[in-house]
């Protein structure tokens, strides 16, 4: 007899373990592929995982088999032109020509890349492995005004909607047992006496009605009544679910992207900056539920713009970096001053600032911006000598632990520089 079993609701993902093992084993290769894959993504296009390709030869499973060479004789189908004894030219590179595909397919060397899909989580895990956000934990809980409620055991008072029936009935039962126990002991004793008495004079009718028996019965009835008078449930027994409000550390962050769009920033440099900002954004999404991004671009004057304009519109002019910092300070004060925000700043420039402006920048940073920032990173995108802004900032970096600066010379440096900036440090 046939058995038909519907297994569709059984556990799926039996291969999850195998998949994880695969990922673990080829972590190096996958990580390399991941860092290559960051190019060509939009800054908010993060909802998908990433397709990753690693060279097939890295993960081949060796086996003993025949290689090319020697004598092979094989049968093919679909003869349309040959008769016995015909000679055929050896096909080049595994059968490019039309006639005579000489090589058997089992010899074909496939060296295609092995391509597979990483989930978003896996992708980001690998990408940001070993990195951490400096000063991640906010300590000023006092200022935080956001609360969430959570369970905290049981209380003796509360609103009826919160009555916990099991707890209440349990304590009622306990109380009834406790209050009734002296009577219950007595009751058992008397009942025993009565039973013995009745047993002793079994058969004799009068005995069951004797004075002694009657007294015992009365006493028993009285005790029963007393036990029954103990209330079934009292206000005293009620228990209520307790919920308390606990302040919760904010998980909001704002990220300021400051970019120099003066004439000296070429399209190429801008795209380098973009990738850097994107990485930072990705990284912040790992730690914060909610992130706002403020784009500020500047030449001689700064302006807050949207993402598209930030990266794509062309403008040029001189460079006054302090204008952007001033705008950042103002926005900070207007919108993000209530202490609920984790503030991150990232500034990208080619460092070619107007000479007299650099000290002002440094002053703005140290006095107004850095104290309220979690972290501020400056990257200078230039291939040549450090510019004046760099020299100015270098002094800040010595004093302020949460100010960091790095130089990027080519797009290839982005990822290493990023890792350098957020390298896990043991305090």
Partner 1 sequence: MTATTTRKLDPLPRGSEWSIESIDRYHTEIARVAGHYRLDTYPVQIEIITAEQMMDAYASVGMPVNYHHWSFGKHFLATEKGYRRGQMGLAYEIVINSNPCIAYLMEENTLTMQGLVIAHAAYGHNSFFKGNYLFRTWTNADAIIDYLIFARNYIGECEERHGEEEVETLLDACHALMNLGVDRYKRPPKLSLAKEKLRQQDRENYLQSQVNELWRTLPAHDIHARAESPGRFPPEPEENLLYFVEKNAPLLEPWQREIVRIVRKIAQYFFPQRQTQVMNEGWATFWHYTLLNHLYDEGLLADSFMLEFLQSHTNVVYQPPYNATWYNGINPYALGFAMWQDIRRICEHPDDEDRRWFPEIAGSDWLETFDFAMRNFKDESFIAQYLSPKVMRNFRMFAVLDDDRQNKLKVSAIHDDEGFRHVRDVLSDHYNLGAREPNVQVWNVDLRGDRSLTLRHQQHSRRPLGDSTSEVMKHLARLWGFTVRLETVGAEGQIELHTEIRSDKRRIGDAG
Instruction: Give the binding site for partner 1 (CB under 8 A).
Output: 1-8, 10, 12-15, 17-26, 59-80, 82-90, 98-106, 114-117
Beta carbon nearer to partner 1, 7 or 314: 7
**Run of H or E residues at 327:** helix 321-335
Structure tokens, 102: 């000489």
One-character DSSP codes across 142-170: GG---EEEEEEEEES---GGGB-HHHHHH
Beta carbon nearer to partner 1, 2 or 161: 2
Beta carbon nearer to partner 1, 1 or 427: 1
Please report how close the Cβ of residue 124 comes to partner 1 at its closest, in angstroms: 18
Beta carbon nearer to partner 1, 22 or 354: 22
Measured distance CA(145)–CA(339) in Å, rounded: 9
Measured distance CA(388)–CA(393) in Å, rounded: 9
Please report how close the Cβ of residue 400 comes to partner 1 at its closest, in angstroms: 43
Beta carbon nearer to partner 1, 115 or 163: 115
Measured distance CA(257)–CA(270) in Å, rounded: 12
Beta carbon nearer to partner 1, 116 or 354: 116
Measured distance CA(256)–CA(327) in Å, rounded: 11
- Which residue reads 């290769």 in tokens? 29
Please report how close the Cβ of residue 99 comes to partner 1 at its closest, in angstroms: 6
Residue 253 DSSP class: E
Handedness of CA 88, 89, 95, 96 (dihedral sign): negative
Nearest to 277 by CA among 290, 264, 296: 296
Beta carbon nearer to partner 1, 72 or 232: 72
Please report how close the Cβ of residue 94 comes to partner 1 at its closest, in angstroms: 12
Nearest to 76 by CA among 66, 86, 64: 86
Please report how close the Cβ of residue 34 comes to partner 1 at its closest, in angstroms: 15
Beta carbon nearer to partner 1, 86 or 211: 86
**Run of H or E residues at 398:** helix 388-399
Measured distance CA(136)–CA(287) in Å, rounded: 8
Is 355 strand, coil or helix?
coil
Please report how close the Cβ of residue 46 comes to partner 1 at its closest, in angstroms: 20
Structure tokens, 402: 């949460």
Q: What are phi and psi of 280, to 5 degrees?
A: -65, -40
Measured distance CA(26)–CA(113) in Å, rounded: 14
Please report how close the Cβ of residue 73 comes to partner 1 at its closest, in angstroms: 5
Please report how close the Cβ of residue 54 comes to partner 1 at its closest, in angstroms: 10
Measured distance CA(270)–CA(423) in Å, rounded: 24
Beta carbon nearer to partner 1, 94 or 317: 94
Please report how close the Cβ of residue 33 comes to partner 1 at its closest, in angstroms: 13
What does the buried/exposed string (b/e) look like for 199-209 if buried means 16 or more CB atoms within 10 Å of the residue's CB?
eeeeeeeeeee
């Amino acid at each position: 007899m046939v058995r038909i079993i519907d297994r569709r609701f059984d556990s799926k993902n039996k291969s999850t373990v195998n998949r994880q093992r695969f990922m673990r084993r080829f972590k190096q290769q996958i990580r390399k592929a991941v860092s290559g894959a960051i190019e060509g993504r939009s800054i908010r296009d993060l909802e998908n995982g990433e397709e990753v390709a690693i060279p097939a030869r890295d993960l081949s499973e060796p086996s003993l088999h025949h290689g090319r060479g020697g004598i092979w004789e094989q049968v093919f189908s679909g003869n349309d032109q040959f008769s016995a004894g015909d000679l055929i030219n050896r096909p080049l590179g595994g059968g490019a020509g039309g006639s005579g595909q000489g090589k058997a397919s089992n010899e074909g060397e496939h060296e295609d890349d092995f391509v597979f899909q990483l989930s978003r989580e896996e992708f980001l895990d690998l990408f940001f492995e070993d990195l951490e956000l400096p000063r991640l934990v906010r300590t000023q809980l006092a200022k935080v005004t956001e609360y969430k409620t959570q369970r905290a055991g049981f209380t003796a008072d509360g609103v009826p909607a919160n009555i916990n029936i099991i707890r209440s009935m349990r304590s009622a039962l306990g109380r009834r047992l406790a209050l009734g126990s002296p009577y219950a002991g007595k009751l058992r004793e008397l009942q025993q006496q009565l039973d013995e008495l009745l047993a002793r004079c079994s058969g004799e009718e009068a005995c069951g009605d004797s004075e002694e028996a009657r007294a015992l019965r009365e006493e028993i009835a009285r005790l029963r009544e007393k036990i029954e008078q103990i209330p079934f449930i009292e206000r005293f027994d009620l228990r209520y679910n307790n919920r308390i409000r606990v302040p919760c550390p904010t998980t909001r962050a704002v990220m300021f992207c400051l970019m120099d769009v003066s004439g000296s920033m070429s399209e190429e440099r801008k795209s380098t900056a973009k990738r850097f900002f994107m990485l930072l954004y990705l990284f912040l999404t790992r730690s914060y539920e909610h992130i706002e991004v403020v784009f500020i671009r500047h030449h001689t004057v700064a302006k807050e713009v949207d993402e598209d304009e930030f990266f794509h519109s062309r403008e040029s002019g001189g460079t006054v970096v302090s204008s952007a910092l001033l705008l950042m300070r103002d926005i900070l004060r207007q919108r993000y001053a209530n202490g609920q925000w984790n503030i991150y700043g990232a500034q990208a420039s080619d460092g070619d600032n107007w000479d007299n402006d650099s000290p002002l920048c440094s002053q703005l940073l140290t006095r107004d911006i850095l104290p309220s920032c979690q972290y501020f990173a400056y990257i200078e995108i230039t291939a040549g000598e450090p510019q004046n802004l760099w020299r100015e900032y270098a002094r800040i970096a010595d004093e302020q632990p949460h100010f960091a600066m790095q130089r990027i010379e080519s797009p290839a440096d982005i990822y290493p520089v990023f890792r350098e900036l957020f390298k896990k440090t043991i305090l």
